Amino acid sequence: MTDKTPTVHDVARRAGVSTATVSRALSDADKLHPDTLERVRQAIEELGYLPNGAARGLTSRKTRVLALCFLDQGDPESDAGDDAMLYIDGVVRGMERAARERGYAILIGAVQDPDAALDLAVSLASRADGIVLLGQAAPSSAIQRLKRLPVVVVAGRCEDDQGWVDQVRVDNAAGMTELVTHLIEVHGHTRLAYLGGPADSPDAAERWAAFRATLTAAGLPVPLPLVGDFTQHTGAQAAEVLDPVPGAVVCANDQMAIGLMTALRDRGVRVPEEVAVVGFDGIDLGRHVRPALTTVRQPMQPIGAAAVTLLERRLRVRDLPPEDLRLPTQLIIRASCGCPIPRLA
Amino acid sequence: MTDKTPTVHDVARRAGVSTATVSRALSDADKLHPDTLERVRQAIEELGYLPNGAARGLTSRKTRVLALCFLDQGDPESDAGDDAMLYIDGVVRGMERAARERGYAILIGAVQDPDAALDLAVSLASRADGIVLLGQAAPSSAIQRLKRLPVVVVAGRCEDDQGWVDQVRVDNAAGMTELVTHLIEVHGHTRLAYLGGPADSPDAAERWAAFRATLTAAGLPVPLPLVGDFTQHTGAQAAEVLDPVPGAVVCANDQMAIGLMTALRDRGVRVPEEVAVVGFDGIDLGRHVRPALTTVRQPMQPIGAAAVTLLERRLRVRDLPPEDLRLPTQLIIRASCGCPIPRLA
DNA sequence: TTGTACGCGTTATCAA
DNA sequence: TTGATAACGCGTACAA
């Protein structure tokens, strides 16, 4: 009883055929005589043979793997950071489903430290046919270094590398514009406050820009933004600061909006009667808080799926102009903006 | 300008060294003369060289990859199936974090059809050093077939393969017992109904068994269980059936409990005043519904982390008796059981 | 329909 | 400290 893991040779010997035949049994099964096929099947079964992916990848120059590289800054213990993870979970799901249809598996890697992103990306890229770089995990150094293989940047910095690599983003500007316009035109708000996200978030930047542009276009004054860190905690803090309570508070993401609403309620301020609160992202939780959160939905899964589509396209055709996909957002009107409660939450 | 992706040879030539030196530059950097190292670094940079993971894996017989194989039965369009996915997301997160610490990446693959699980598992296993089979994705055929490499079954069927492979599960029995005991002893319930999960779910089976055992032990009558499919929809349906409203309804998962509560409220039945409702799993949503759901939390991330730990352990020592880990659950008392509302939701 | 033999890119062994 | 070279396991021309 040999304990080494069996190879094609072992299978071949046991089945009384050549290694080539074994190989064919695994791919072009139909090009074999049924009896031969059966013998090989037997041998494989009996030996517990598993093909060696590395050897396969070496000859075929393909791995049938698509990688995803992202930053996981969440404190493993607390609930903070869950927001980003919720987003990532959606993207992963979308990628996996899209990849599955095309015969790919997804390789996932994350780091805490942005400075480690490059090494991780290289390490993942060396085992994949293409790679998706998520948000902050896409320093231009990484993009340069990986130029040899298909790279898609999702939710990356806006300025850098534009027209350089394929990108997938969400149309933050359109979403925010739609949201603010709703507040102004439907509810007649004129005093809007803004609770923004971290300065290094491209999404946060785009949302803020669209917010002020929309106010300006409407001839309304642009408030000084509060700057949060995308956590519920930060949203709660904002409730303390907002003293002359404005008519409405626009938050750069849902978590902060929810934290804010909760703290406001604790302070005895009624939402949406006294102040409207709206968010951005469309996380599931927003459907279940009371009042249900009016927000702008980011299509997480479609983002993941689009990234895979782009990767696969470039795997087939290398010489293609870079694509810069902006996926549409969707305004989701619920109760926190002051709209009547719909029949179904 | 050659367009082929550069190899160690190209780098070696450009740096005026041998391939062995290039190889060393990537692993034992400190065993090289600083100047040599620098030249190699240069060449790598200039050529945009990326190591070939397949070739590496071939010689080293290691991939530094751990695979996860699961069933994704969710309808891509609807919200149904989210429950299972929430669970999986948590496990993935736990795996990734634990794997990262040990220098591994996670390879993810899913199928809809349980019958396809075996093929997927083999395909994933051939590219990984070890594999985690989740729930239904672990038919004994797969476990047999993969015997050559470390396999961990998470939330698998209870009877099969016990003492065969390493397993990670949650202590459903203890959790359910604790939950039901709370209902009986603290709230004095004597008429309990049960809304169970699908017959093919090992978790559902264990929970039901513990439920009835606890009632029996308390000298209470065991009701006929309603059988749902783990969705909110099913929970809502249960509200119609439960006519002589019992004192409490124990649901085999949170989704059903939430669906039930909502439907009950629509029917004008007050929870928890008229009937207590409790769930199982501890999904995030349960914290935000009103009344907040009393439930039993499954430690999703620790489950993933434990699976990785087991895998890595066996990667180091093959000859070890199989481990059958039962992770503890945690009773989370909120409002839906009738307990006073805690200060923080 | 089946077999032979070479090459894929890297690491490790052994010399130098 | 560095170089030459032999595996590693599989796919695939090419031959039979």
pLDDT score of A33:
87
Q: Are strands B226-227 and B166-170 parallel, antiparallel or unpaired?
A: unpaired
Whole-model pTM above 0.85?
A: yes
**Which residue in A69, A73, A107 has the most chain B C-beta atoms within 10 A of its own C-beta, making it the best mutation to test that interface?**
A107
Percent of chain B with pLDDT over 70: 93
What is the average pLDDT score of chain B? Answer: 90
Q: Looking at the predicted structure, is the pLDDT value of residue B308 above 90?
A: yes
pLDDT at site B344: 47
Nearest residue to B149 (alpha-carbon basis) of B93, B60, B58, B67: B67
Task: Over range B53-60, report the average pLDDT.
Answer: 95
In a 3-state reduction of DSSP, which class is residue B165? coil
Can you give the pLDDT at residue A76?
52
Average pLDDT over residues A291-316: 95
* pLDDT score, position A31: 81
pLDDT at A344: 47
Nucleotide nearest to B59 (CA to C1'): D8
In percent, the amount of chain A with pLDDT more than 90 equals 70
Q: Is the CB of A60 under 7 A from strand C?
A: no
* The pLDDT value given to residue B51: 96
Chain C bases closer than 7 A to any CB of the protein: 1-5, 7-13
In this prediction, residue B200 has a pLDDT band, given cuts at 50, 70 and 90, of confident
For D9, which residue's CA is nearest its C1'?
Answer: A55
Question: What's the pLDDT score for residue B2?
Answer: 45
Q: What is the pLDDT, as a whole number, of residue B81?
A: 44
Q: What local confidence, expressed as pLDDT, does residue A79 receive? A: 43
What's the pLDDT band for A87 if we cut at 50, 70, 90? confident
pLDDT score recorded for residue A161: 58
Quick: pLDDT tens for B64-105: 999 999 998 765 544 434 566 778 999 999 999 999 999 999
A14 vs A276: CA distance, rounded Å: 74
Distance B152 CA to D8 C1' (A): 27
Contact status, residue B139 vs residue B113, Cβ threshold 8 Å: no
pLDDT at B41: 93
Looking at residue B75, what is its pLDDT?
Answer: 56
Q: Write out chain A in H/E/C secondary structure.
A: CCCCCCCHHHHHHHHCCCHHHHHHHHCCHHHCCHHHHHHHHHHHHHHCCCCCHHHHHHHHCCCCEEEEEEECCCCCCCCCCHHHHHHHHHHHHHHHHHHHHCCCEEEEEEECCHHHHHHHHHHHHCCCCEEEEEHHHCCHHHHHHCCCCCEEEECCCCCCCCCCCEEEEECHHHHHHHHHHHHHHHCCCCCEEEEECCCCCHHHHHHHHHHHHHHHHCCCCCCCCEECCCCHHHHHHHHHHCCCCCCEEEECCHHHHHHHHHHHHHCCCCCCCCCEEECCECCCHHHHCCCCCEEEECCHHHHHHHHHHHHHHHHHCCCCCCCEEEECCEEECCCCCCCCCCCCC
pLDDT of residue B97: 96
Which window residues (41-60, chain B) lie with Cβ within 7 Å of strand C?
A: 49, 51-52, 55-56, 58-60
Chain B hits for A149, Cβ within 8 Å: 5, 50
CB nearest to A54's CB, from B58, B67, B122 = B58
- Indicate the residue of A105, A108, A149 with minimum beta-carbon distance to B96: A108
pLDDT at A297 over 90: yes
Residue B159 has pLDDT above 90, yes or no: no
Q: Is the pLDDT of residue A82 over 90?
A: no
Average pLDDT over residues B244-272: 91
Name the nucleotide with the smallest C1'–CA separation from A52. D9
Whether residue A256 contacts residue A195, with contact meaning beta carbons closer than 8 Å, is answered with: yes
Which nucleotide C1' is nearest A35 CA? C1
Tell me the C-alpha distance between A145 and B46, whole Å.
Answer: 10
- Position B271 scores a pLDDT of 92
Q: pLDDT digits over B19-53, tens only?
A: 999 999 998 888 888 889 999 999 999 999 999 99
Q: In the structure, what pLDDT confidence band is assigned to residue A210 with cuts at 50, 70 and 90? A: very high
- The Å distance, CA of B33 to C1' of C15, is 19
Please answer whether residues B151 and B168 qualify as being in contact, where contact means their C-beta atoms are separated by less than 8 angstroms.
no
Average pLDDT over residues B158-164: 64
Q: Could you report the per-residue pLDDT of A104-158, keeping only the tens digit for each?
A: 999 999 999 999 999 999 999 999 999 999 988 888 888 889 989 999 999 887 6
- Shortest distance, CA A172 to any CA of chain B (angstroms): 23
CB-defined contacts A:B, below 8 A? 142
Across the range B189-198, mean pLDDT stands at: 95
**Cβ separation A107–B105 shorter than 8 A:** yes
Question: Which chain B residues are Cβ-neighbours of A145 within 8 angstroms?
Answer: 48, 50
Model pLDDT, residue B105: 98
- pLDDT for residue B8 is more than 60: yes
Distances, alpha carbon A222 to alpha carbons A219, A240, A253, in Å: 9, 20, 19
Chain A residues close to B97, C-beta within 8 Å: 72, 76, 110
